[in-house]
Amino acid sequence: CSSAGGVLKYNELFQNGGAAISLCEKADPLVACNVVRDGEDAGILVYDDALGRLEGNNIHSNRTYGIATLRGGAPRAHANWIHGRRQGGVLCDEGGAGDFARNEIESNAKSGVTLRGMCRPRIRDNRIHNGRDAGIHAMLLGGGLVEGNDIFSNAHAGIAVETGAALFVRRNRIHDGLQSGLFFFENALGEVRENEIWGNKEAGLQITEGAEPLVQSNVFRQQSNEKG
């Protein structure tokens, strides 16, 4: 797949043993309006400095993640529907990156977005909701920009940051979750600015176990603070 381009549109890819679509070695195709479902690995895997424009795809019910980026993979993933009973939504790991914007990330079995391993993506203007885990979960030195998202009705924290991860969290709406809105623990870092956090069943913001985020100019209101 070295330096490959091309266009993949209006295909249905399902029940594959590996990733349904694999982009690597600086490949940069347009992948648009496909249905990618029920695979035994990631729906779309982008790695080894590949790019790609992922637009308007319906990605659901894959075993691992809807979209995964590794080792310098940096797609532009816009306006996709990433959902389903088995998969996590988006994974950036091992230096994976990308621009994830205006996606509908919902009802995933794992976190809507998982960030780890020195990744630095941009997660912006997405709807991340009704997942069985956290909306966004950053860990193991993961990072990136989380901006302008609507994060709601997730079973765990709206945004969870742990184990040395450091996010820049700005101008998001984090609400109606079943646990805390924001949860920083195990030496987590980052900046939290100009967000609106409301209606979560536990605290709007929880900081514990050596975490040290900078939290400034946010609005926290009407958390129910129900535990147990």
The pLDDT tens digits for 97-131 are 999 999 999 999 999 999 999 999 999 999 999 99
Q: Are 174 and 153 in contact (CB under 8 A)?
A: no
Give Cβ neighbours of residue 28 (< 8 Å, ≥ 6 apart).
3, 4, 5, 50, 51, 52, 53
pLDDT digits (tens, 9 = 90+) for 174-220: 999 999 999 999 999 999 999 999 999 999 999 999 999 999 999 99
Facing residues of 167 across strands? Answer: 144, 190
Residues 6+ apart with CB under 8 A from 174: 135, 151, 152, 158, 159, 181, 182, 195, 196, 197, 198, 200
What residue has token string 């590996």?
18
**Which pTM does this prediction carry?**
0.96
Structure tokens at 103: 């996606």
Q: Please, which pLDDT band fits residue 228 given cuts at 50, 70 and 90? A: very low
Are 85 and 62 within 8 A, CB to CB?
A: no
- How many other β-carbons are positioned within 10 Å of the β-carbon of residue 63? 16
Give domain limits for the chain. Answer: 1-91+99-110, 112-120+129-228
DSSP line for 87-154: -EEEEEETT---EEES-EEEEESS-SEEEESS---EEES-EEES-SS-SEEEETT-EEEEES-EEES-
Q: Percentage of the chain surpassing pLDDT 70?
A: 97
Question: Is residue 1's pLDDT more than 60?
Answer: no
pLDDT at 227: 55
